[in-house]
Chain A
Amino acid sequence: MDQVITCINCPVGCRMTVSLSDTGEFLSVTGNTCPRGAVYARQECTLPKRIITAVIPVEGCRMPLSVKTSVPVPKQLIREVMHELGNTQIHAPVRAGQIIIHHVLNTEADIVATRTLP
């Protein structure tokens, strides 16, 4: 099974073709022009991860709170993480860096406030 992805390491944006086994294991990559591309391709095709940022409402504060995941979470969990955030009750005040949810969806990522709300 082949998968075509665009490298994001630099503006060249190499179009790389990644071969995967039937079980989804990484076999090989072509089309990359540097080793960084191969590393990215492997990660992207086996377990793509993203940092998620979002704004969520806060009780008693007009301004929403901006948050992020402390580390990248698997891409396929993005929707679920957003759903989780929609069901989170937060009260002001909040400090930048404060953990809002520990280990969201049992991942290694915490949901962390990225700004202070008085």
Chain B
Amino acid sequence: MTDRNIDILVIGAGPAGLAAAIAAREAGITSLLVIDREKEPGGILRQCIHNGFGLHRFKEELTGPEYAQRDIDRAAELGIPIECSTMVLSVSRDHLVTCVSPVYGIQRIQAKAVILAMGCRERPRGALCTPGTRCAGIYSAGTAQRFVNLEGFMPGKRVVILGSGDIGLIMARRMTLQGAKVLACVEIMPYSSGLNRNIVQCLQDYNIPLLLSHTVTDIRGLHRLEGITVSEVDQNRKPVPGTEKHFACDTLLLSCGLIPENELSLGAGVSLSSATSGAIVDETFETNVPGIFACGNVLHVHDLVDHVSAESYKAGCSAASFVLNRHSEDSYFSVMDGDGVRGTVPQRIHRNVDSPVDLMFRPAGVYRNCAVVVECGNIEICRKKAQIFTPGEMALITLKPEHLRNLDENILTVRIERN
């Protein structure tokens, strides 16, 4: 067995892991390793061949592989080692990481700090409890994306997409461009959870109908999918009898939500938030387990990779500080979700924080002309107005250190104030 001691181990070489590793190296950490289960670094960006990445970070529009390559190149420049085809089997509370690969076999790596950057997975059909047969032709949108963009095969010819998350919208366009017919995109909510630009450029450009407040209520086909039934839903998301529409299709793609992949985190004793399904972290992205940090989609599902990179860079800096022993004392504010707010990250903030803290969350619905308010007890400490909030885009409000001085209470509440 190979036993190694290193300063920082980053699990995952997607945009989060790469940004964290780059930050840690730039902060002076030399003993550093990134591991990834895929054959190449880049994470899910490898299969996201569409454009639209990097507008915030690079002020230009890149495709997924191009965005990933910038970080891969930077990591190479900095001499950051990346071991691919390596699967982490367990992470212990005291940072012992066990992993396996065909090349190196079982390795045990003792790290001073661990950065969790494993990303997320898609919600499968089972989680939706959609009735019908279990035929071939039903894939999560990401699986279909992998087949088309990385393997070079098309999953089907006549496609319905359930869920209007961004991957579903992107796949509607991809399948259409590559020669399939997309019949409809079906969304159970009265609004899409995808970005506006994707609704316009992926659906409207190709005359693909978006059926809001609809869901799939039956799946037919003995062996391969033959058709589905779509029904309108009421306000409680229950199908309304008599509203059934039938579609003859051979493919159903599911884009019904992403779930942070935290099985390893749980094994390490990391506490998870029920709102985000990711770790509970403080503003340095440290979890409840000292020296274990989390960032990217394993922490909370992001809307834009630019945000993932920015957040993970901070996490990498924090992990470096932890290793270099510049850890601050532990007295915290707890951050709670208030009205209209879901899954605020970070969930804890050091009372004596000395740099601005971005609070990120998902609006629980579509709200127009309102404001995000952060309160401590009865004291309003920060407010930000916005024309609109939608669940498809992360909302962000920045707390400055001076906002957090001279407060008696320990709880910060983030809420959306509606008029």
Report if A and B touch in the complex (beta carbons < 8 A).
Answer: yes
Q: Is B69 an interface residue (CB 8 A)?
A: yes
**CB <8 Å contact, B65 and A33:** no
**CB <8 Å contact, B205 and A11:** no
Q: In the docked arrangement, what's the CA distance between A66 and B152, Å? A: 10
Q: Is B161 an interface residue (CB 8 A)?
A: no
Q: Within 8 Å CB of B417, what residues of A?
A: none
- Which of A33, A66, A82 is within 8 Å of B387, CB to CB? A33
Q: Is B134 an interface residue (CB 8 A)?
A: no
Q: Within 8 Å CB of A62, what residues of B?
A: 151-152
Chain A, residue nearest B173 (CB): A53
Q: Within 8 Å CB of A33, what residues of B?
A: 387
Tell me the residues in window 4-51 of chain A with beta carbons closer than 8 Å to chain B beta carbons. 5-8, 10-13, 33, 50-51
Q: Within 8 Å CB of A64, what residues of B?
A: 149-152
Decide yes or no: A6 and B177 within 8 Å by CB, A53-B51, A55-B152, A115-B65 being known contacts: no
Q: In the docked arrangement, what's the CA distance between A99 and B135, Å? A: 42
Q: How many residues of A contact B (CB 8 A)?
A: 27
Q: In the docked arrangement, what's the CA distance between A93 and B188, Å? A: 45
Q: Within 8 Å CB of A10, what residues of B?
A: 196, 387-388
Q: How many A-B residue pairs have CB under 8 A?
A: 78
- Which of B65, B177, B200 is within 8 Å of A114, CB to CB? B65
Which label, helix, strand, loop or mixed, suits the secondary structure of the A interface?
mixed
Q: Within 8 Å CB of B393, what residues of A?
A: 11
Counting chain B CB atoms within 10 Å of each CB, the highest count among A11, A68, A78 belongs to A11
Q: Is B306 an interface residue (CB 8 A)?
A: no
Tell me the residues in window 43-78 of chain B with beta carbons closer than 8 Å to chain A beta carbons. 46, 49-51, 61, 63, 65-66, 69
Q: In the docked arrangement, what's the CA distance between A100 and B393, Å? A: 35
Q: Within 8 Å CB of B216, what residues of A?
A: none
Q: Mark B135-168, 1 if CB is under 8 A from A, else 0.
A: 0000000000000111110000000000000000
Q: In the docked arrangement, what's the CA distance between A57 and B66, Å? A: 19
Q: Is A102 an interface residue (CB 8 A)?
A: no
Instruction: With both chains docked as a complex, state the minimum distance between the C-beta of A77 and any C-beta of chain B, in angstroms.
Output: 12
Instruction: With both chains docked as a complex, state the minimum distance between the C-beta of B49 and any C-beta of chain A, in angstroms.
Output: 4
Decide yes or no: A12 and B388 within 8 Å by CB, A51-B61, A55-B149 being known contacts: yes
Q: Which residues of A contact B (CB under 8 A)?
A: 5-8, 10-13, 33, 50-55, 57, 62-64, 66, 68, 75, 78, 82, 96, 114-115
Provide 21 A-B residue pairs closer than 8 Å at the C-beta atoms, listed in order of the A residue. A5-B200, A8-B197, A10-B196, A11-B195, A12-B387, A13-B199, A51-B51, A52-B177, A53-B51, A53-B63, A57-B152, A62-B152, A63-B151, A63-B152, A66-B149, A75-B205, A82-B177, A82-B178, A114-B49, A115-B49, A115-B65
Q: Which 4 pairs between the two chains have the least Cβ-Cβ distance?
A: A66-B49, A8-B197, A64-B152, A115-B65
- Apart from A63-B151, A68-B51, A115-B66, what 16 extra A-B contacts exist at CB < 8 Å? A6-B196, A6-B199, A10-B196, A11-B195, A11-B390, A11-B392, A13-B199, A50-B201, A50-B205, A51-B61, A52-B177, A64-B150, A64-B151, A96-B65, A114-B49, A114-B63
